[in-house]
Amino acid sequence: MSHLTRRHLLLGGLGVAAVGSLSACGASSGPGAAPLPTPVRPSGTAAVVKTLTAKQSTVDLGGPRVRTWTYDDSLPGPLLRAKAGDFVQVTLKNQLPDDTTVHWHGIALNNAADGVPDMTQKPVKPGETYQYSFLVPDPGTYFFHPHVGLQLDRGLHAPLVVDDPNEPGGYDHEWIVVLDDWLDGTGTTPDATLAKLISDNATDSGNSGMGGMGGMNMGGMGGVGTPPFGDGGDIRYPHFLINGRVPTAPETFAAKAGQRVRIRFINAGSDTIFSVALGGHQMTVTHTDGYPVKPQAVGALYLAMGERYDVTVTLADGVFPLVAVPFGKNGTPARALIRTGSGAAPAAGVVPVELNGPILMGADLEPADQSLLPSRSADETIRVVLNGQMSPYAWGLNGASYPKNDPIMVSHGNRVRIRATNMTMMTHPLHLHGHTFAITESGLRKDTVILRPMETRTLEFQADNPGRWAVHCHNAYHAEAGMMGEMRYRT
């Protein structure tokens, strides 16, 4: 089933009064009527030139072998690395049996390269090639993934690191740690899982559909109401991965005791918030979503889908598990190992004591001075309201499922304040394309921020990147089921 077909199925599904004028033939009158932006072509030679092939592959997760979709046959996909200010040119070859695009998550790039089908480009059809050309203005840890259907919940994601030529560095190693929740090729697919969620919850509005269907999360250890996030997502995953490996066959990072390491954490999962800790160590958080923060020592931290955190660690002597526990879900936590000395590795499933202590919520970090937006009062305020529920399985933004909701209009040059409200009983990581907003209260810069059940946050950004930008929940299932909107610059 194509993503469009599924959307059409869902149009009648947001069974709440807030849905305005839904009709089966309304798709042509939606935001798609606005013109797509014109792609930028590099005038000189690009600093980074890459070809990326999206294709079906068989991947070894470290025991389980799965048939899935990847970039260049690797999981995670190949690292894309550039320097701040570089012109990047990536040629995407689509060898998938479905349309696709690439979205460069967190990068404040030109709108035409943003990879949102029917908003910034036409989808790239099977067998087609498409060129992405963009400047990477800001250093940091990012990633890229398709913006079509549930392709993120297959193996289609890869890290993107933008180096800061002026940063002192001061560490001996740099490791990238990609967290993922995995079900593709284990007897189901993301598309089949969503179809089942929808059909199992089609008629019943009396309970939350907790009837024991495969692929659905039954609440596990953290049922509805478990702090701090409510429940643990919608989907039950057989595997949790770090860098594409199951915890019984972990990636092992080697270093020497006393060395300083920078770890770039990326949550590329689709429906799972993780808490991470390195056994026997404190970690110092230095950046989130690319931007520097006031260094903060923690034993453990949460990462929602789409969030990134950089930490530094000074390593002790021995073998240590780097563990990512899926919030509110059963299953063996994801892990990697760090080895600086001899000794046996702890067994899979061992959870470091650091995860029993306080766990940092990223939004509580303080911004570094150089990350602050210039102080200025808001010129306009926009509303982003997240709606929906499990049963019937339907999610929306500002009262309707995308693309039935109205574009949110902003003016170029304005300081825009966002009042974002989660009107649901689930936690949603809210992500805005093309901009890194500040949390008004603290000034902390983020492009993906957690909204807990019934929580309101005030965010703001400088409207300095004209175009049509997606704003959505980074739960892939929620976004696909309609929890997305378009923020459009007035012309």
Q: Which residues bind Cu ion (CB under 5 A)?
A: 428, 473, 475, 478
Distance CA 195, CA 395 (A): 14
Do the Cβ atoms of 393 and 367 come closer than 8 Å?
A: no
Encoded tokens for 82: 């550039």
Residue 10, Cβ density class (10 Å: 0-12 exposed, 13-18 middle, ≥19 buried): buried
Encoded tokens for 327: 């919030």
Distance CA 422, CA 426 (A): 8
Q: Which does 145 bind (CB under 5 to 8 A by kind): Cu ion, ligand C2O, none?
A: ligand C2O
Distance CA 265, CA 286 (A): 11
Nearer to ligand C2O, 428 or 433 (CB): 433
CA proximity to 85, closest of 6, 139, 121: 139
Nearer to ligand C2O, 145 or 245 (CB): 145
7 binds ligand C2O (CB under 6 A): no
Min dist CB 25 to Cu ion, Å, is: 28
Residue of 103, 236, 245, 446 that binds ligand C2O (CB under 6 A): 103
> Tokens 């997760």, residue?
61
Nearer to ligand C2O, 105 or 262 (CB): 105
Nearer to ligand C2O, 107 or 241 (CB): 107
Bridge partners of 432?
A: 471
- For 237-246, give one letter per residue: b (16+ CB within 10 A) or e: bbbbbbbbbb
Helices then strands (H, E): number in the chain? 3, 30
472 binds ligand C2O (CB under 6 A): yes
Residue of 140, 185, 306, 396 that binds ligand C2O (CB under 6 A): 306
Distance CA 453, CA 281 (A): 32
Nearer to Cu ion, 292 or 482 (CB): 482
Min dist CB 249 to ligand C2O, Å, is: 27
How distant is the alpha carbon of residue 408 from its chain centre? 22
Consecutive H or E run containing 10: helix 3-11
Distance CA 330, CA 332 (A): 7
Q: Which does 472 bind (CB under 5 to 8 A by kind): Cu ion, ligand C2O, none?
A: ligand C2O
Distance CA 297, CA 304 (A): 19
Min dist CB 217 to ligand C2O, Å, is: 21
468 binds ligand C2O (CB under 6 A): no
Tell me which stretch binds ligand C2O (CB under 6 A): 66-74, 274-282, 361-369, 466-474.
Answer: 466-474
Nearer to ligand C2O, 134 or 253 (CB): 134
String of contacts with ligand C2O for each residue 416-455, x by CB under 6 A? ---------------x-x----------------------
Nearer to ligand C2O, 147 or 281 (CB): 147
* Interface of this chain with ligand C2O, residues 124 to 153, rule: CB under 6 A: 145, 147
Min dist CB 21 to ligand C2O, Å, is: 26
Min dist CB 425 to ligand C2O, Å, is: 23
Distance CA 463, CA 341 (A): 51
Q: Which does 478 bind (CB under 5 to 8 A by kind): ligand C2O, Cu ion, none?
A: Cu ion
Do the Cβ atoms of 133 and 40 come closer than 8 Å?
A: yes
Residues contributing to the site for ligand C2O (CB under 6 A) = 103, 105, 145, 147, 306, 431, 433, 470, 472, 474
